[in-house]
Amino acid sequence: MIEVKNVTKSFDDRTVLHDVSATFYTGKTNLIIGQSGSGKTVLMKSLVGLMTPEKGEILFDGRDIIGMDRSQIKDLRKEIGMLFQGSALFDSETVLGNVMFPLTMFTRQSYDEMYQRAMFCLERVNLKGAENKYPSEISGGMQKRVAIARAIALNPKYLFCDEPNSGLDPKTSIVIDELLRDITHEYNITTVINTHDMNSVLGIGENIIFINKGRREWVGDMTQIYNTSNEALNDFVFATHLFQKVREYVVENERPTPPTSATPAAK
């Protein structure tokens, strides 16, 4: 579990996060949502230690990352996997090389053991057969799946995903969402997903934190979001005619119908 307590972060005179508190639960897909410029990326970067807030605590199962020295952060990061918006795969390495990279850096396993583990991870994300390709030779959706395989290679306790569906078509987005949800449940990971994809919000949002203008405005899950009275959240989530219709339908029928369940995932 990750607990964020009263975190404040500023750039020059501009305060981007105002006293934000939130809890990210283990074994759940925790979503940070908000408009562009709302501060969700700053919150995500603060969580993983790429930015240091001026005030507050960020507790990883009781360990405050803000007070840690470099070696402690380094140790903690071995428990963290991260999926970047642009996948951030190493261009000079093959798919297999990318997935094996954390294993070569942080384990004392033999090549065969590392190979087996990497192939297991690639199989888990349905990418067996692509191990010898380079990132430039595979599609955006496949790159995301490679990045997921790399992120889970070391069995992380915490998985951070920065806009995992960015640049993907809706069908591939659903594949990525379901993969993240399944991995979270399967390995009991604390998964934090930074997104503004409404399919993800309504499909895998088991714990949703809505950030607006640097403040945490709402916390709930994908079933509660349909009945929220928060105006900013309503404007954000149900901005399109389609989602307004979905909401009307769900409220009328008094049960949530996540869009992902309606469409079978393409493997």
Partner 1 sequence: MFMQRVFGIPDRWRTFGRRTIQEVSKLGIDSIPLVIIISLFIGAVIAIQMQLNISSPLIPAYSVGLATRDIVLLEFSNSILCLILAGKVGSNIASEIGTMRVTEQIDALEIMGVNSANFLVLPKVVGFVLFMPALVVICMATSLIGGYLVALLTDIITVSRYVYGLQALFQEWYVWYGLIKSVVFAFIISSVASFYGYYVKGGALDVGKASTNGVVASSILILLFDVLLTKLLLQ
User: Least CB distance from residue 156 to partner 1, whole Å?
Assistant: 10
CA 76 vs. chain centroid, Å, equals 18
User: Least CB distance from residue 50 to partner 1, whole Å?
Assistant: 6
Instruction: Considering the complex, state which of residue 111 and residue 249 has its C-beta at the smaller distance from partner 1.
Output: 111
User: Least CB distance from residue 161 to partner 1, whole Å?
Assistant: 12
Instruction: Considering the complex, state which of residue 114 and residue 201 has its C-beta at the smaller distance from partner 1.
Output: 114
Instruction: Considering the complex, state which of residue 88 and residue 119 has its C-beta at the smaller distance from partner 1.
Output: 88
Cα(163)–Cα(262) distance, integer angstroms: 22
Residues near partner 1, by CB under 8 A:
48, 50, 73-78, 80, 82, 84-86, 88-91, 101-102, 104-106, 160
Orientation angle between helical segments 95-106 and 111-124, nearest 10 degrees: 130
User: Least CB distance from residue 88 to partner 1, whole Å?
Assistant: 4
CB 40 within 8 A of CB 211: yes
Instruction: Considering the complex, state which of residue 106 and residue 249 has its C-beta at the smaller distance from partner 1.
Output: 106
Instruction: Give me the residues paired with residue 191 across strands.
Output: 29, 159
The Cβ-side half-sphere exposure at 159, using a 13 Å CA radius, reads 34
Closest CA to 47 of 25, 64, 34: 64
* Positive or negative: CA dihedral 261, 1, 84, 147: negative
The beta-strand segments (E) located in the chain are 2-11, 14-24, 29-33, 55-60, 63-64, 80-83, 158-162, 190-195, 207-212, 215-220
User: Least CB distance from residue 117 to partner 1, whole Å?
Assistant: 15
Instruction: Considering the complex, state which of residue 71 and residue 253 has its C-beta at the smaller distance from partner 1.
Output: 71
User: Least CB distance from residue 159 to partner 1, whole Å?
Assistant: 11
Burial class (CB in 10 A: 0-12, 13-18, 19+), 253: exposed
Instruction: Considering the complex, state which of residue 41 and residue 260 has its C-beta at the smaller distance from partner 1.
Output: 41
User: Least CB distance from residue 131 to partner 1, whole Å?
Assistant: 19
Instruction: Considering the complex, state which of residue 16 and residue 202 has its C-beta at the smaller distance from partner 1.
Output: 16
